[in-house]
Structures are given as C-alpha cells and as structure tokens.
Amino acid sequence: MTVAVFVFSLLGAMAIGMPIAYSLLVCGLALMGYLTMTGILPSFDSQILSQRFVDGADNFPLLAVPFFLLAGEFMNAGGLSRRIVNLAMAWVGHFRGGLGYVAVMAAVIMASLSGSAVADTAALSALLIPMMKKAGYALNRSAGLIAAGGIIAPVIPPSIGLIIFGVAGNVSITKLFLAGIVPGILMGLAIGATWWWLARKENVERSPKMPMAQRLRVTADGSLALALPVVILGGMKLGVFTPTEAAVVAAVYSFIVGMFVYRELKWREIYGLILAAGKTTSVVMFLVAAAMVSAWLITVANIPTEVAAMLAPFSGNQTLLMFVMMVIIVIVGTALDFTPTVLILTPVLMPVVLQAGIDPVYFGVLFIMNNAIGLITPPVGTVLNVVCGVARISMDDAFKGVMPFFLAQLGVLFLLVFFPDLVLVPLKWFMH
C-alpha cells in the first residue's frame, strides 16, 4: 500500500501538470499523511518537511554543480568548444562521412569538459548541423548522431549526473568519475561504428585533407581545451583536489583561457553567462531539495524493502537483477527527465543494490548511462528537443534519425550488464 501511495501521489501530481519538483513535495506530503494515519509516524509535522527540504540542498559536493555549469558556459562563449570541433575536423574530417566522425570525436572531448548533455548538444548542433546540411548529409540522421553524442556527457567525468547520484546514494564521486571513463568511451565507439555502417555508401561532399603542418597548428590551438580533462582527472586521482574543488578549477581555467588566451570571452558577457548557469543550478538544486524530502519518507516508510521483495525472484543472480533494474529504468526514462529519475529511483534502488552485493559504483555508472539514454527517447527527450530546435525538424524525424544510435548505446549498456569487469577492472587500475 505504501508503494501505491508513493507512485499514485507522484504520478497524479505530474498528470495534472504540476512541475516535477512540486510533485515530489506533494508525494512527500502524501507519504507523511499516510504514515501518520497508519501510526508509523507519531504526528504530521510540516517543520520536519521544511527541515528535510533545506538539508537536501545543504550538501558540500553539490557546489560542484554550479561551477561545472559555469565552466560549460565559459567554454562555449570563450571558443574552447569551437576549437575542439576544429581539432576533430583536422584529423578525421576528410574521411567518407567525415563530419559524422568529427561530431563523435568532438562529443567525447567536450563530454570530458562540461558534464552537461544539453550544453554540449546545443554547442555541437549549432556548429555542425549547418555544415552537415551543406555537405549533403541526411538532416535527421545528422541530428540523431549529434544527440547521441551529446548524451555521453553525463557518463564521462566531470559529470553533473554522477555528482547528483553520488550525493543521493552516498557513493564516492571520485570513484564514480573514474569508473565512467571507459563506458563513456565505449558509447562513443558504438555510435562511431554505427555511423560508419550507415554512412559508408552515402555520396556526400568530403572535406579536403589538411596538410600535416596545418593539422599541428589546429591541434596546438586546441591544446589548452584538451588539457582541462587531464588537469581535472589527474588532480582527483592524485588527491590534489576533490570533485567539488575540481569544478572550481574547471570554471577558473575556462574563464582564464577564454578571456586572456583566446580572447573570445568578453567582460560584457560574464553577467549573462553567470545568470544562465545560476538559473540552471536553481532548477537542479530545487529538484534535489524536494527529492530529499521524498527520499527520507521513502526510507521511513520502508519502501526499499517492499521493492526488494518484488525483485526477490531475481536477487539470487546479480546479473539478472541488474538486467531487470536496467529494463525498468529504460521504461521510466522515457517518461521522466534525467535529474528527476535519478533523484526518485536512487533511494528506492540503492538498498536493493547493496543487499544484493552489487558494487554501488558500478551500478551508479550504469544507472546514469541508462538515464542519459533516456534523454534521446520521446516524449520527454530533452536532448532530442534541443537538436530538433537547432535543426528545425520534427520530433518524429529526429527519433527516426537517432534510432540506430539509440540501439547502439543500449547495446553498450547491456554489454556492461553482462560483463561488469569492463567497468570494475579499469576502475581498479585508475584508483592505483
């Protein structure tokens, strides 16, 4: 009955058009009312809800979110993103279907800079879709490839999604970052191979091959952008700074390079960029705070135990249990956006994961990957909507274009379900 109250109060509030953050608060009120009626809680106390709401946002690791978002704004405005595309163009742009490989290579590099799928997709779409359209590529397929590349950002560090999961699930963010490197690269390889298969017979205009001297100049010009992920990951691995401090380093680094080295970031733009990062941060933080109210009541109501009982037939086999959970998350991810899915399901599933003896870092990476894939599935599909807006195509056309890449990334997800060492072995190597 408690699970039913949780599900129907949450879905009911969303069904009448209430924003998800407010729906989570309504769900918390409904759970507290039910727990008071059944005698599990002594009384209905709104002060407890207020305190939990404030405590939800009062978390030091969450400071990484605004700084990584600000770093992404500085990168796009300061010319770092454009130089990454130029660098990829110099090395792979002349191959058959070269602009597609540029999109994949740039997506992987930019994922290691900002950690925001929407920001990366918007930047890549604005830069590459006009070029791909002019060269004669199918517009919906080009849009689908860029959308599929954009969702690598929540998996490869620094990832805002991994930070939120780490806070909600009480899992080491540093370990999550290091564990996300190989799965993110595999996602890039999967869509690159899919693009090769699709584009091998296309008759499109090829870009001229750059002379080696020009390639080296372009690479040198983009070297400062390429240095940032090395600084972030190297600093965390060596214990020089925490993920939160790494976010500050990323923001300051992006500002200095964009303002004083590339000189494309202007003082008059700073206020607008900070405001944009602040607005996005406020949405994320409000969601986190509201979700922590529900998370506390989920624990009090013992909902994870009820969910564990439902999943009991699969609990004897870790692989089968992971498979079932991933299927559930895929389905939920088509209806809910990224952050709400992470915040709602983490407190429900983490006790099940721990009870089954599954490594929480391994689960976290696959969980975030699964939610990232949900960003390119209708009807919500935030990243798909971004590409549709830039390319000016319908959601139906965009989904047809993204479908082969969606299946490829889903294949990577379930490959990691059946072969967990692909995540765990590199993690052990990175940690030493």
How far is residue 240's CA from residue 286's CA, in Å, rounded to a whole number?
A: 30
Q: 420 or 38, which is more confident?
A: 420
How do residues 4-52 score in pLDDT, each as one tens digit? 888 889 889 988 988 888 988 998 889 888 888 888 777 787 788 888 8
How far is residue 70's CA from residue 250's CA, in Å, rounded to a whole number?
A: 9
Q: Is residue 255 a part of any domain in this protein?
A: yes
How do residues 367-376 score in pLDDT, each as one tens digit? 999 999 999 9
The tokens for 224 are 């400062």
Q: Give the mean pLDDT of 217-224.
A: 93
Q: Is residue 214 a part of any domain in this protein?
A: yes
Q: Is residue 36 a part of any domain in this protein?
A: no
Confidence band, pLDDT 50/70/90 cuts, at residue 89: very high
Residue from 426, 360, 413 nearest 166 by CA: 360
The tokens for 294 are 């529900």
- Tell me, what's the pLDDT at 59? 83
Q: Is residue 12 a part of any domain in this protein?
A: no
Q: Is residue 4 a part of any domain in this protein?
A: no
Q: Is residue 17 a part of any domain in this protein?
A: no
**Residue 299 predicted with pLDDT over 90:** no
Q: Is residue 15 a part of any domain in this protein?
A: no
- Tell me, what's the pLDDT at 272? 96
* Domain total in the chain: 1
What does pTM read for this prediction?
0.92
Q: Is residue 245 a part of any domain in this protein?
A: yes
Structural domain range at position 248? 45-431
Q: Are 258 and 76 in contact (CB under 8 A)?
A: no
Q: Are 301 and 31 in contact (CB under 8 A)?
A: yes
